[in-house]
Structures are given as C-alpha cells and as structure tokens.
Chain A
Amino acid sequence: MKKLDSKIPEGPLAQKWKNYKDHQNLVNPANKRKIDIIVVGTGLAGASAAASLGELGFNVKVFCIQDSPRRAHSIAAQGGINAAKNYPNDGDSVYRLFYDTIKGGDYRSREANVYRLAEVSNNIIDQCVAQGVPFAREYGGLLTNRSFGGALVSRTFYARGQTGQQLLLGAYGALSKEIKRGHVVMYTRREMMDLVMINGRARGIITRNLVTGELERHAAHAVLLASGGYGNVYFLSTNAMNSNGSAAWKAYKRGAFFANPSFVQIHPTCIPVHGDYQSKLTLMSESLRNDGRIWVPKKKEDAEKIRKGELKPTQIPEEDRDYYLERRYPAFGNLVPRDVASRAAKERCDAGYGVGPTGLAVYLDFADAIKRLGRDVIEARYGNLFQMYEKITDDNPYETPMMIYPAIHYTMGGLWVDYELMSTIPGLFVAGEANFSDHGANRLGASALMQGLSDGYFVLPYTMQNYLADQITVPRFKTNLPEFDEVEKDVKEHIAKLKAVNGKEPVDYFHRKLGRIMWDKVGMARNEKGLKEAIEEIRELRKDFWKNVKVPGDVNGLNVELEKALRVADFLELGELMAIDALHRNESCGGHFREEYQTPEGEAKRDDEHYMYVAAWEFKGDDKEPELHKEPLKYENIEVKQRNYKTA
C-alpha cells in the first residue's frame, strides 16, 4: 500500500516555506534548457505556472481546450482576490488570513499549505500591479479593498466585477511574452485525453486536436495539470460549458489519488433556475453581499402570494421581512461563509418561505444601500452585475430586489498533492482548482484566484525545480516508445467504443440526468439513504449511457458532441466516487452537510475524533471499489473549534 507523505517541511509554521526554499535543489540555467515540462490548462494556475517556468528557462508546452489561452474559465471570476496586505489598516495579517482560511474550510485543510498561501498572497498583488492589472483605486491613487464572506477585515482586491478577467489577462500577457521568446509553445484547441507514464513517472500526454480529430503525443520530464474543477458533474453550475474533470480523472485512473471528491461548494448567490432547457447558471458575485441584504417574508401567506404573483416584494413592510442571516448570525450577518449562507437559504425555502415562481429563491435587496449611499455609488460598485442580472431575468434590481438561490460553483476536492503540489504519481504536479490543497471543506470567497496564482507564480517554480534537479541527466523522451503506443491505443479504442454505441439519446440527456441525481442526493444536503441510492442510480445511468448514447458525425474532425460524450463518460464515473466519499464521511463539515450530523441549531457538526483527515481515494480497477487512504490533519497553530459566525 502506498503511504501518503505530505512532505511538510520542518520548523515553525512561519519558517517552513523559507526553510524549504533555503534547502531545496535547483537546476542550473544551462540545464533548464534541456528539460521539458507539459502544462495542461491556461487558467490562472496554468498560465501563471507556464509563464514563470518559461522565464526560468525551461521548455514548456501548454495546452488548452479553447481557441485562445485567454478564454480559460478563470476569466469569469467576478468578485476579487484576497491578500493580507492590510492596506486598510483594519487589523489584517498573514496569520489572520491563514486563520480565516482554515476556519472557513472547517478544519479540513493542511496548515502548512494554507500558511504558505497566505504568505505569498501579498506577492501576487505586487506582481499583478507590475503587469498592469487595473485594480480598483482610491482617489489618492492607492489600491482599494472590499469585504468577502468569512472575514472581519477588508482584504479583497478587485477590478470592477471582472477581477478574474483582469488577472487572467495579466497571466496571459506573461504567457504571450514567453511564447514570443520561444520558451513556451502554445497548443490551443487541444484536449488531453490521457497521461503517459514511463517507469512509474509521469512523462507525457496524449492529446486530441479538436479541429482535426488527430491524436497527438507529447513527452516531457514532468507534467503539470491545471485543468480546473469538476463542478459540471452537476450539469447545471456556474462553471463554463467546457469545464470538465477528465484530465484529473484520467490521472486518477493512472494512479494519482483523488482527495475529498465530495467537497463541493454551493454558492449562495446565483440566479435561480428558470426552465428545463437551461444550460448553465449565472453567479451573482459574493461582493453583492457587502451591500445587499438577504431576506424572505416572515409570513408564509405572503410568500405564497408572491409565488402566485399576487404580491410584490416591495409591498412587504419592513416588519414582515425576515433577514434570516442577520437574525441567525449577528456578528457576520450577510457575510457568513458560503456554505452557511447556502444552507440557510435552502432551510427557509424548504420551510415554505421561498419566493419566485418555483419557491426556490430568496431576495437580495439593495433598497437600503441605495437609500444610504445613492444609486450612483451602487452603480459604480456593481453596475455590470446589475446589468447582467437584468439581461437574464428582465427584472431591474435597482427597483425590485434580486432573486437568488444557491448553485454549484467550485470543487474543493481534487487530485491529492503534497506540499510540493505533486500528486502520488512522481512527476505529476497539480495546481489550481484541479488539486485539493488549500480550502478544506469550504472555500472562502476570493481565495481561488489567490490559490491559482500562488501555485503558478510562486510555488511551482520552486517545487518543480526541486523535483527536476535530479532529472537533468535524463535525455528527452521519444514519443515512439511503447508506453506512448499503448496509451494512444487505449484512447483510440475508447473513442471508437463511444462512437460505436450509436444509440438514440444525445449526450446532454445523460448529463442532465446525472446532474439531477447529483444535485438531489450529493448536493447541498446529503444522507445515507440518498447517497446509497445515488450510487446505484449513477451505475444504472452509466450502463444506459454506454448502450444508448448517440455521437453523430465523424470522430476524425471537429466534433463537439464527441468532446462532450468523452467528458460525460468520465463524469459518470467521478459522480459515483463523489457519492462514495460523501457516504463514508459520517460527519458534516463545511460544504459537506450530512443531515444525520447537525447541531440542534442546524449547523454542521464535525466529528474530529474520527474524520480529521483528508480522504484520498486510489483507483483499483473499473468495477472495483476504490481504496481509501487517510492523511491525518494536525493543527499545531490553531485551536480547533466549532465554527462560530454568531459572535466575533
């Protein structure tokens, strides 16, 4: 049995990263030229890593699905990026950011990784400003901040409602610079289909050229996956349509452990579902909770009338409104962490107080803020979000409260990595949302961008070098090795098998069904019975898929349905692992809420004695149960407590 070694460096928490860097192995400049690195993904994690590794002098090959690296899903992030700069002088520090992240994650993440993240957070902001990222500023010319959930300080830097776009364009600029210099070669419209291993190490990938349909072989000394999260397993999510879990899943099937697959984040402020043709859900940034107040009617009759369209929210007098977050969590109010806010919304709707035609919505109201600050200020802060909301719903949020409901947004789970961000496969590194590393059972807002850029700019350039230092004598690999032949053959057969099914139903039919099972039974609230059913239902659906799916067109050419079918085939396996993981964890923590385990007030009830570990699953074969490995979590610098957002 493989043992999990998290490779946490010695020394006091605040010294660990420094100690690591002081003693790690380096590759001299002349040798860097002889070393090849593959990077899968050009989101914040992939683009920043590829650019930084290219700058150091390595030969980097980068791959992405979209027609340009600038279109990775990171582009859609709205609200902001955290850093412990303490520019507002409101008491922030590296330790406080570290503390908030561990607490926000409900004590299910690794202290050393999170501390490092908080430490380098400040460098990220410096780097981005140097790249020309136009962060919001004060009249005096200095950078400004806003607040996000789970924090009592203002530490979020932002560029209007387009922070992800601006950060990604910064990283894309750095990447473009290295492409121009010839240190990075970019492959767009390419999808990694599988991982190639030689003598137990990751040494290459097979890609499919999405335009010609050709399978291509790429070899390297090390492979970095920065392929994003798998939220689209739920069909409806805030993720981009091409976001998928396949690269990570293929790595899992080649031996990389998958950690905490059931830890997903359900974002409280999304536009509610409105029709069965719907293709995706739209996030309304968490930053709105700075000024918006969340409420439902106090009286069930009012809620009913609203649902029938007989009453408008603006007609409900103040005393008949239930600002339930402010009521339940006086210290944090509307700015409680996402898992808490999502569950509270579900609780009110399930109890019959939901609004909107389906009853699955709550109000996010700006009337008070507009009265206090004026419409101009609100428009300057959130104008583009209000506009987006109006485009989708045809409602004007300046005049009537927004309607919101929780939706799948982010996956905390992902491939298991050690302190160096290396998976259990030597030479396979994983960064960004694709790894499990820093957010425990719940991610705080504005921390994913921070993590992606921390991994790419400031962690991997060191840790990958440490791994590569003893690889300098390993010559470049040829792609005609039998290891490449074999994996390519597997991929070819897999595609042929999919095409040969030639059933009746389009891929979306299965994807929607899977999404329904996942949302109902492996979603915001889970229980033993439902999870067991989910596992059975997913298995049945998988069988049905392989009997009845229809992939039209030629597989040797641009074929969008084939791309979707390949990804959904993997989701149909990953969904089962998520349910297995959720079932095994007999506790509630963060976003993982098991109905059997709650406090009398309905808060998540952890079981630290039995579950204070990372669950890392090992693939054992297609029809075999995966094997569970545990990485115990130790908290030496933080007192482990029940999360409390009622008092400060």
Chain B
Amino acid sequence: MDLKLKIWRQNGPDDKGKFVDYEIKNISTDASFLEMLDILNNELIEKGEEPVAFDHDCREGICGMCSLYINGHPHGPDAATTTCQLHMRRFKDGDTIVVEPWRAKPFPIVKDLIVDRSAFDEIIQAGGYISVNTGGVPDANTIPINKGKADLAMDAAACIGCGACVAACKNASAMLFVSAKVSQFALLPQGRIEAKERVKKMVAKMDELGFGNCTNTYACEAECPKEISVTNIARMNREFFAAKVSS
C-alpha cells in the first residue's frame, strides 16, 4: 500500500520542530509500523537525508522503549498494542498517518520522536522497590500468598513504563504508572512493611517532577498498551490517605 506520512522533526531540545511530509510506497500489510519507518529511513539515507530518530528495542511489546503518538493516540489506534506491535494491515492504502513524539512537560523532546523519560526512573528510585539486600532472605515458600492477590499484583507489575499514560492524559499525570508499582507491592506481604513510606515518597517525587493531577478522565487506562487498570489508582489513593492519616 502507499501512504502519506506527516512526521514531527526536531533537531534537538532547543529546536522549534515542525511536521515534515513524506510519501512511502509499496508497504506490505504484514510489515510492522516500525518496519515501515525502517523502510522510510533507508530511503532517506539513500537520498542523502537524515533518518527519523525514534526509540525502540525489543519490538515485542515488552521493553517499553518504543513510543510514538500516531493519529492522535499513544501507540496508535489499536487497543492493548505497543507501537512496535502495530501492523500496517491496520491502515488503508492512501491513508495519511500523523506521527508525533510523546508530549508532556516532564518528558522533554531529545530529537525528532525521541523523548527523555528519566523522570520515571527517578520516581522508582524514590521508593518503588522492597528494600532487601542480596542474601539472607527466607525460603521462597515461607509466606504463602493468596493466588488472587498474587495475580492482581502481577496485573499491576505488567506495566512496561513506556509513558503512554502520561502522553494520553490532558494533565500529563503519571498516576497510572505510579499506582501500578504501589499496588504491586501493596498487594504482597513482602511489600506491606514499607507500604506507607513508599507511597508517600513516590507521590511526592511525582509531584516534584511536574506530573499533573488525576482528574478521573481515564484516558490512561484506555491507551495503556498493557491494559493496566485504573483500580490501581483507587488503591493508591487509599494507601496514600491511610499513610497520611497515620503519620
């Protein structure tokens, strides 16, 4: 199929940036979206132009490295699908596809479609872990864990940290991301010990880094490629208020 592309080009954080139009022909419907961009890039290189910079790594929907705001949706039009798993059969011959980077203040643009998501790492560093050192831990089966709870923890832990929730949110809120980590540990006995401190520290960090508030629009859940549920946000709010009250 033949397509028209409108791609955001920006040479660096200080550049103003603009949309540039490209045409691309003979794309197989079985190709992935990123393979389509690979083809475009190789054509640009052969023409002596600079290829479009975008982030990607696993191309299996698990590393969270790919991003891209495609036709107004983070990770494109398909539900529960990362950009790297989006396939061209989703589009029609002659379509125009608009490709932009994540747009959110805490994720500054590095170049073209690449943004800086290190704010997420900072939030985790603030307390998104269980403080155990290597060694000296009890046998793995010492504490049985209710399967239902363990499954819920796993649902939350499936977050890939891609930032689509922030990009989807009109307030650039990181609540879905933060609440997923808070929930995973809040649901497990191992995580309960530091639960109060954890939620307070992570929320404080999130606010400090300039992420917005949650106003319950739930675009984050709708756009999340891993279908992380907003019930995690409710759980985090409960944890947060409980922690505040007791401190």
Contacts and interface: CB of A to CB of B under 8 A. Distances in A.
Contacts of A140: 144
A240 B64 CA distance: 12
B89 A126 contact: no
Interface string B116-127: 111011001111
Interface in A590-616: none
A67 interface: yes
B51 A552 contact: yes
A52 B137 CA distance: 14
Contact of B46 (A274, A387, A506): A506
B236 interface: no
Interface in B1-58: 12, 28, 30-32, 34-35, 38-39, 41-42, 44-46, 48-51, 53, 55-58
Contact of A277 (B28, B61, B133): B28
Nearest to A561: B51
Interface string B97-134: 00000000000001100101110110011111111111
Nearest to B126: A180
Given A66-B57, A279-B59, A550-B45, A52 B32 contact: no
Given A142-B144, A552-B49, A67 B55 contact: yes
A179 B120 CA distance: 14
A39 B144 CA distance: 36
A457 B133 CA distance: 10
Contacts of B185: 132
A309 interface: no
Q: Tell me the dominant secondary structure on chain B's binding face.
A: loop
Interface in A139-192: 139-143, 159-160, 162, 164-166, 169, 172-174, 176-177, 179-180, 186, 188
A173 B130 contact: yes
Interface stretch (B69-77, B149-157, B213-221): B149-157
A475 interface: no
A505 B47 CA distance: 10
A260 B55 CA distance: 33
Contact of B65 (A66, A165, A166, A552): A66
Contact of B39 (A241, A277, A392): A277
B57 A172 contact: no
A458 B184 CA distance: 26
B118 to A, nearest CB: 7
B87 A162 contact: no
Nearest to A550: B45
A374 interface: no
Given A70-B161, A391-B85, A552-B48, A75 B62 contact: yes
A85 interface: yes
Interface in A3-17: none
Contacts of A51: 134
Given A66-B57, A506-B42, A506-B45, A560 B134 contact: no
Interface centre among B32, B80, B121 (most CB of A within 10 A): B121
Contacts of A180: 125-127
Contacts, number: 218
A142 B128 CA distance: 25
B137 A127 contact: yes
Contacts of A66: 57, 63, 65
Interface in B182-211: 184-185, 188, 190-191
B51 A67 contact: no
Interface centre among A68, A274, A388 (most CB of B within 10 A): A68
Contacts of B49: 552
B86 to A, nearest CB: 8
B60 A558 contact: no
B60 A134 contact: no
B120 to A, nearest CB: 7
A241 B80 CA distance: 22
B134 A71 contact: no
Contacts of A241: 56-59
A279 B55 contact: no
A473 interface: no
Nearest to A457: B134
B62 A162 contact: yes
A140 B160 CA distance: 29
Given A279-B34, A394-B89, A165 B62 contact: yes
A461 B140 CA distance: 22
Contacts of B150: 134-137, 141
Contacts of A558: 12, 53, 110-111, 114
B246 interface: no
A56 to B, nearest CB: 9
Given A172-B124, A391-B87, A67 B65 contact: yes
A123 B135 contact: yes
B42 to A, nearest CB: 5
A240 B144 contact: no
B39 to A, nearest CB: 6
Given A132-B130, A172-B124, A558-B110, A126 B58 contact: no
A388 B60 contact: yes
Contact of A129 (B125, B134, B190): B190
B157 A166 contact: yes
B202 to A, nearest CB: 11
A392 B33 CA distance: 11
B55 A173 contact: no
Nearest to B89: A394
A134 B38 contact: no
Nearest to B28: A275
Given A130-B130, A180-B125, 17 more contacts: A55-B134, A71-B65, A75-B64, A125-B140, A130-B132, A134-B154, A134-B157, A141-B147, A166-B157, A174-B129, A177-B129, A279-B32, A504-B46, A550-B45, A552-B50, A558-B53, A560-B53
Interface of B: 12, 28, 30-32, 34-35, 38-39, 41-42, 44-46, 48-51, 53, 55-65, 80-81, 85, 87, 89, 110-111, 114, 116-118, 120-121, 124-135, 137-141, 144-147, 150-151, 153-154, 157-158, 160-161, 184-185, 188, 190-191
27 contacts: A52-B134, A67-B55, A68-B161, A70-B64, A71-B161, A73-B57, A73-B63, A75-B58, A126-B138, A126-B139, A126-B140, A128-B140, A130-B137, A130-B138, A134-B157, A137-B145, A173-B124, A277-B28, A277-B35, A279-B38, A391-B87, A392-B87, A394-B30, A461-B134, A506-B46, A550-B45, A557-B12
Closest 8 CB pairs of A and B: A141-B144, A173-B129, A130-B137, A134-B154, A129-B140, A52-B134, A506-B45, A134-B153
